[in-house]
């Protein structure tokens, strides 16, 4: 089993209490860093029930996600080499099937930050959030067609549309608090968003909430959800339950 539950290395200095992984029954763990820079742990799960617990305390700056509307889109020929992979289609982001729509919907004069925000607005307005209307293999095109899903599906569709118009976009998974969000609050859960490459760096966008949020704690980044699964098993297994607490 591969487990990706720890706070990303970019937030390691913010840890007040380490987010160590605890297993019941205890089995040996080995840590490694994957090709996307994510902290992962691998183990051989015993037969029977296995409980995995991760707890940690993070000091957050308590500032909302930055909004930088002046940032421009970089021409493909000027992008850094390591950003090019995030222009390509991937398991859940079928760029070849949505390119024609993306260029017709998000063409000039909308560029840069404005273009990415227009994509987020479109996804937020056209996709209905519903926990019961998704499945583990749902792709961006399926979300585009049936207009239902969860945060994972919102992110996949927005990422795909960004890539179609030559904006590198990468999938992010992590924790998101309800700080300064008025009730009623949704059930606590892991959250998915994405980062787009604009100007000279990567910047957060969240098509599910579509508003700056406080307390976004990154776990992992990748091309799509296939790269950053919280747990990956190589054999039959059943998830009995999970609980997330973030505040």
Instruction: Read off the pLDDT band of 107 (50, 70, 90).
Output: confident
Residue 161, sorted as left (phi over 0), alpha (psi -120 to 50) or beta, turns out to be alpha
Dihedrals phi, psi of 97, to nearest 5 degrees: -90, -10
Do β-strands 128-129 and 30-33 pair in parallel, antiparallel, or remain unpaired? unpaired
Please state the rounded mean pLDDT for residues 86-98: 97
CA–CA gap between residue 41 and residue 94 (Å, rounded): 29
Per-residue model confidence (pLDDT) at position 205? 98
Between the alpha carbon of residue 144 and those of residues 116, 121, 212, the distances in Å are 17, 14, 24
CA–CA gap between residue 6 and residue 18 (Å, rounded): 9
Task: Assess whether pLDDT exceeds 80 at residue 181.
Answer: yes
The string of pLDDT tens digits covering residues 111-150 is 899 999 999 999 999 999 988 778 889 999 999 999 999 9
The mean pLDDT value of the chain amounts to: 93
Chain region(s) in the chain for CATH 3.10.620.30: 76-224
CA–CA gap between residue 61 and residue 71 (Å, rounded): 23
Tokens in use for 199?
Answer: 């100007």
CATH of domain 76-224: 3.10.620.30
- 5-19, 154-168, 207-221 — which is least confidently predicted? 5-19
CA–CA gap between residue 185 and residue 71 (Å, rounded): 32
């Amino acid at each position: 089993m591969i487990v990706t539950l720890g706070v990303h290395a970019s937030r390691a200095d913010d840890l007040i209490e380490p987010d160590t992984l605890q297993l019941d029954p205890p089995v040996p763990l080995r840590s490694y860093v994957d090709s996307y820079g994510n902290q992962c742990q691998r183990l051989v799960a015993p037969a029977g029930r296995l409980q995995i617990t991760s707890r940690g305390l993070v000091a957050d700056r308590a500032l909302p996600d930055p909004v930088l509307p002046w940032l421009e889109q970089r021409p493909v020929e000027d992008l850094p080499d390591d950003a090019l992979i995030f222009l390509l289609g991937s398991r859940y982001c079928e760029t070849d099937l949505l390119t024609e729509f993306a260029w017709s919907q998000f063409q000039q004069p909308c560029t840069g930050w404005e273009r990415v925000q227009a994509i987020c607005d479109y996804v937020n307005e056209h996709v209905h959030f519903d926990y019961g209307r998704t499945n583990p293999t749902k792709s961006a095109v399926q979300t585009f067609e049936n207009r239902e899903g969860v945060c994972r599906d919102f992110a996949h569709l927005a990422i795909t549309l960004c890539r179609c118009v030559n904006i590198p976009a990468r999938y992010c998974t992590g924790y998101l608090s309800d700080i300064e969000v008025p009730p009623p609050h949704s059930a606590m859960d892991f959250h998915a968003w994405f980062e787009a490459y604009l100007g000279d760096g990567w910047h957060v966008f969240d098509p599910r909430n579509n508003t700056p949020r406080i307390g976004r704690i990154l776990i992992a980044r990748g091309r799509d959800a296939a790269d950053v699964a919280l747990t990956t098993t190589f054999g039959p297994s059943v998830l009995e339950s999970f609980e997330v607490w973030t505040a």
